[in-house]
Chains A and B, each alone.
Chain A
Amino acid sequence: MSDFRFGIVVFPGTNCEQDVAHAVRWLGHQAEYIWHQDTTVSQFDALVLPGGSSYGNYLRPGALAAASPIIAAISEYAAQGKPVLGISNGFQILTEAGLLPGALQQNASLTHICETLDFYVEKTVCQWLQLASGTMISLPVSHGFGSYYADAATLIQMESNGQIVLRDTQARIAAVCNEQGNVFGMMPHPERACEVLAANHPAGAGGTVFSTIVKHLEVVR
């Protein structure tokens, strides 16, 4: 029953696809890679755009990847209400492609932030984390352009729609979803916090993201 097929989208410069595939398989599901020039994604139960530095982060992180042939197929897939997750650079690609509101700016510190942080799961419509609303989860982040920005009017709208998904302990936004709740972008890396062997991180916190979407898929199947 619970054997779902995850498509993992790979762009030139993506570097977390194997970690995501490992996490998905470790949780008992199928993972397959999809090259950015492919245009068919309908065979998958969920799509993941992993982290990395697509196109060397040239121009702006995610900007060049957002013009890839696969993006039209992902947009169509998302419009059907099917689940799409963008992690870190994947989140940046989804905002650049217009599948999520707002944009990710350079960190105010100008440094690459690489540490494990605590996040509060907001009351949200997000299919990928709805069941964890109201809890704290601890996840690793690793990014140079992770400061979420949307104008004030957009943020008010997003808050009332339940589109703000994760905030850190300083109330900074770390993850958002679209109005329907199926397209989800997060700066932290859940795939790095699924199992004890993944070292420094509390095991299971990252698994929450994948197990929540699996529960959702079981209901809608």
Chain B
Amino acid sequence: MKHYNIYVTSKPVIYDPAGRASENTLAKLGFSGIERLRIGKFIEMQCADDVSLESIKQMCDQLLANPVLEDFRIEIVD
């Protein structure tokens, strides 16, 4: 069994309203010094040993991330 972590984040040029709103709320709670807060998606995937990293990339390209708005990063856990 292989274990991958996939991080889907909006591209740097994309405005992230949820991140901005959370940042503003943290400031209201008295937390200061936040330079940038972006909210993305975390996907945990377990799959058979013969599923290649290349096919995980294809899954991200075709479905898990939208290439117009998002970037993705795959982390091999074990």
Contacts and interface: CB of A to CB of B under 8 A. Distances in A.
A67 B64 CA distance: 12
Interface of B: 13-15, 17-18, 21, 63-64, 66, 68-69
A78 to B, nearest CB: 19
Given A106-B17, A106-B18, A149 B69 contact: yes
Contact of B68 (A59, A102, A109): A102
A140 to B, nearest CB: 23
Contact of A103 (B13, B17, B68): B68
Contact of B63 (A63, A110, A151): A63
A36 interface: no
Nearest to B41: A59
A60 B63 CA distance: 9
Interface of A is mostly: loop
Closest 9 CB pairs of A and B: A103-B68, A103-B69, A110-B17, A108-B17, A103-B66, A106-B17, A110-B21, A60-B66, A102-B68
15 contacts: A59-B64, A63-B63, A63-B66, A64-B63, A67-B63, A103-B68, A103-B69, A105-B14, A105-B69, A106-B18, A107-B17, A110-B18, A149-B68, A151-B13, A151-B68
A17 interface: no
Interface of A: 59-60, 63-64, 67, 95-96, 102-103, 105-110, 149-151
Nearest to A95: B68
A102 to B, nearest CB: 6
B58 to A, nearest CB: 13
B44 to A, nearest CB: 14
A109 to B, nearest CB: 7
A109 B69 contact: no
A52 to B, nearest CB: 19
Nearest to A104: B69
Contacts of B66: 60, 63, 96, 103
A52 B18 CA distance: 22
Contacts of A67: 63
Contacts of B13: 151
A151 to B, nearest CB: 8
Nearest to A106: B17
A20 to B, nearest CB: 26
